[in-house]
A and B are shown apart, each in its own frame.
Chain A
Amino acid sequence: MKQDYDTTNEKESLAPGHHPGPLPTDVRDTHVWDDTPEAINRRKFLTQLSIALGGLTGVALVVPVAAFIVAPLFKETPILWRQVKVNGQPGTLDKFKVGETVEVSFEDSSPVAWAGVTALTAAWMRRTSETEFTTFAVNCSHLGCPVTWLPGAQLFMCPCHGGVYYADGRVAAGPPPQALFHYETRVNNGNVEVKATGVPIPTE
């Protein structure tokens, strides 16, 4: 039998008696709805029921998911004191000279097990006297890029937009709106520790 299937004329190509596509609309248009008050009320009720059930289904799905996603915002994570490391060595008091600024690193307060190297945070630590330390966050107060300490010039410099800070963290030049942030620092049994509060967030 010769097949005459042709996309431009597919209606004829179909087996006889078949309607292509959905039911002809005239079937529905000519249907006479039951318009008694009972039927109308019943339809009204079913409409409201369907919408309410649909809404409930949505809520049941959305609430736990939304809670899961925004939960970290409200979770109070413990802030811990962490001993710093200098060049990979434990940061004991004798590792720091008065007047010198060195890079230290410490573990975040509550890193996840799979954080890998990102569980660490770096900071610039300056021993200002026998007993006192100032620990600067590495994050430029402009947009958070890491500042570098230039020992020769006694300046911190940001590689992103050229923010410069003096040794005490004050803004020396460039776009930063405020001084470098500090981490609280203490000496505990000869170990230098900082309060691992995370990335400083500039709020105005």
Chain B
Amino acid sequence: MAVIKGILGWLEDRTGVMGAIKPVLDHKVPYTNWKTGWWYVLGSAVLVAFMIQVITGIALSTSYVSSAGDAYNSLKFITEEMTFGSFLRGMHFWGGSAMVLLVGAHALHVFIIGAFKFPREVNWLSGVVLFFATLGMGFTGQLLRWDQTAFWSVIVGADQAARTPFIGESLAKFVMAGNTVGGATLSRFFAYHVFFIPGIIFLFVGLHLFLVIRNGISEPPQRGEAVDPKTYRQRYHNMLEKTGVPFWPDAVWRDAVAAIIVVLAVVALGIFLGPPSLEAPPDPTQLSVYPRPDWYLLWYFSVLALIPPKAEPYVILGGPGLAVVLMIILPLVANKGERSPLRRPWAMGFVLLLVIMISTLWITGLVSPWSPNTRTQPINPALFQASTAQVQKGVQLFYDKGCQYCHAIDINDTSLSDSNGPGGARVVGGARGPNLSTVGSRLTHEQIVVRILNGGNAMPQFGTLLKPDELDAIVAFLETRTNASDNKQGQGKGVEVSLNGQK
């Protein structure tokens, strides 16, 4: 023991590290109780998640090959053959998910308690950089999986960048690192994900933490205690003198609890859910793909699907642009006044709106009703009690002509089990257009014909695509789909899904 203490004493004498850290550990922070205090762990929890990413990322990088021709195989090798490979990939994925989730929660908490106000404007601004860097890590990380979805995600990303006025084409080329997605693309995204963005994150985490110490942790807001830049610092100082507690250990212990929860949760998810499965290789000639972003950008995928096409040029750039601008000007224009959420009804209304909007879009994104169901299978006409040859032909054409990709229809079949689920009463087809299970009761013969021939916003005009007898057969089949037939088959009502006001 004496020897160790001697060594430590010598080390401290020659480096002064403890002497430099001690004031940080001992500095006073506002007293928080069990109600307010736990919210303050979010920031350090993001840092813990980031550390998980650094550690697992370094481990994965020892076996990952950032070459477009080999990356997929190296990932397969990591996942299937390396000791703990699948687990580490799982931890890296769930650690990233935790980081995105926690950085969002941290930003929301800071917004709600008005902690971005004077003198902590730059704390917030450096956090904005970290927020977008985190999303950037998520996007580039998904690409490094270098499977089919990754491949097409680059193109989708480039196409969005291409909407930028004037420099759009250059930006798109920059994203792809050339005219096509190929060898040069992946090397670049690897560099972004492993060097560029983490470098920015390290830099800004440093600044962010420095500012947290320098400006002090914000105190839980009190109603009526408005922030006035002239008096705030003095008031904060007096408050610390009176009721402040030492950072170590009075505040840190909650961070320690949060840290172990984050780590255990990520480990558990890595073990039990594992990494996202690798899809097919990134072969550009395999076109039966179903690309979608990982969950943290799924809500934005919904935005792109749901906005009216005419608004797209503005939303694709304006949306993220507006988010950045709002986040930057927020602390500059609103750095004074009440911090308490109870005195900031507009701000809280905005938070509510944002949370509702993103969760709704996210849930919608999980279902993705706008995507045609390209996996739907032809239906046996017998399931519709199709009596005549014309109706039977109509059932076949309903599939052949693509109707079924977008329109759902109720069937009752116990023999048919496929990717859509087990047999029995169920709905087949897509959710892009309305469910047609009862269309015979809803629309007249003429209305059905007119709709098929003329199409709509989301439906092609089939006027030139169908021969007269084909049209007749499809209409004949649809006319057998009535309330009565739907009930007779013993199912619940088909769910009406419509997009863009289409019926």
Q: Interface on A for B, CB 8 Å cutoff?
A: 1, 3, 5, 7, 10, 13-15, 18, 20-22, 70, 72-73, 77, 103, 105, 108-109, 111-122, 138-139, 142-148, 150, 152-155, 157-162, 164, 166, 172-177, 197-199, 201-204
Contacts and interface: CB of A to CB of B under 8 A. Distances in A.
Given A117-B284, A148-B287, A197 B183 contact: no
Given A118-B69, A145-B156, A162-B371, A77 B285 contact: no
Interface in B166-212: 168-170, 172-174, 176-186
B19 A72 contact: no
A103 B287 contact: yes
B390 interface: no
A109 to B, nearest CB: 7
B5 A5 contact: yes
B485 interface: no
Interface stretch (B105-113, B252-260, B266-274, B455-463): B455-463
Contacts of B312: 175, 177
Given A114-B69, A144-B152, A173-B457, A161 B304 contact: yes
Q: Which of A108, A115, A119 has the most CB of B within 10 A?
A: A115
Contacts, number: 213
Contacts of B402: 150, 152-153, 155, 157
B159 interface: yes
Given A144-B152, A159-B374, A160-B371, A202 B159 contact: yes
A157 B374 contact: yes
Contact of B305 (A22, A161, A197): A161
B241 interface: no
B93 interface: no
Contact of B162 (A21, A70, A202): A202
Interface stretch (B7-15, B218-226, B229-237): B7-15
Nearest to A150: B402
Interface stretch (B94-102, B137-145, B288-296): B288-296
A159 B406 contact: no
Contact of A199 (B12, B69, B158): B158
Interface in B421-442: 432
Nearest to B457: A173
B405 interface: yes
